[in-house]
Structure 1
Amino acid sequence: MKIYLRLSILLLLVVLTSCDGLFQYNPNQIILKESEKNLNAKNIALVQALPVRDTLKFILVGDTQRWYDESADFVKSANSRKDISFVLHSGDISDFGLTQEFIWVNEIMQKLKYPYLTVIGNHDIVANGPLVYNKMYGALNYSF
């Protein structure tokens, strides 16, 4: 019986330590997939690859923190447009500067058929927000 208990504990430890981000030990952890890093640079490259036209149209959105259903509705509405070059998110991606908040909004915004760029908002600069923003989106100050 002792051997089964030891094997069960060992198996549990192996499962818990091999899940690579499945469990969050601290809400201030910054664990991002490679596809969630440097998003502004990736999207700027997409914007710069667009054909040059005499008019540039973009959508300005902001304050998506905790408004996930409404953000998803925004993406559906934006995707119905045919003449947009990109979307600019004017900040307040998160409410408390938590990594998970940034991830949730990015998961929604990734469904846009247009590149999206962000600037940091006042809610994004609390707690670990600036660190998360920097890893996920890039420099706090940039131009293109």
Structure 2
Amino acid sequence: MAVTAPIPKPTPSRLLRELDQWSLRDLNKLVPGLLSLRARKLPSVVSRTEASLLKRITAGPPVRVMREYDRLMTRRVEQPLSQAEQCRLEQIIGEIDQHHLLHLQWLGELAALRRVTLPEVVRQLGLKRSL
């Protein structure tokens, strides 16, 4: 019966020295996995800031804006919109676009707070691409 010595646990500094020899391409593949592993090991308590971001991220554009958008889009299918209605529809689309930009900003803030990448936050939240 052969006795084998246990493999010593690498120290962070030793591991970093070894990783310094890796290519940038391999490091880019490793980093998201490391960030995900780190996030899983962090306590799962949600801070007020994170809770606020999650609430804003999941809320979507204001209901009144979406109702008016739906009404004008339905009307546009039935008949041409008046110039005033077309202008209003363009304003609403701008408001929805502005909300989408805020949505991305909030996702970025959440990613920074969790110290993970943006794609990782999207995966964690189970968000789907809309386009």
Give me the TM-score of the superposition, normalised by structure 2.
0.29
Which has the higher Rg, Structure 1 or Structure 2?
2
Give me the TM-score of the superposition, normalised by structure 1.
0.27
More helix per residue: 2
More strand per residue: 1
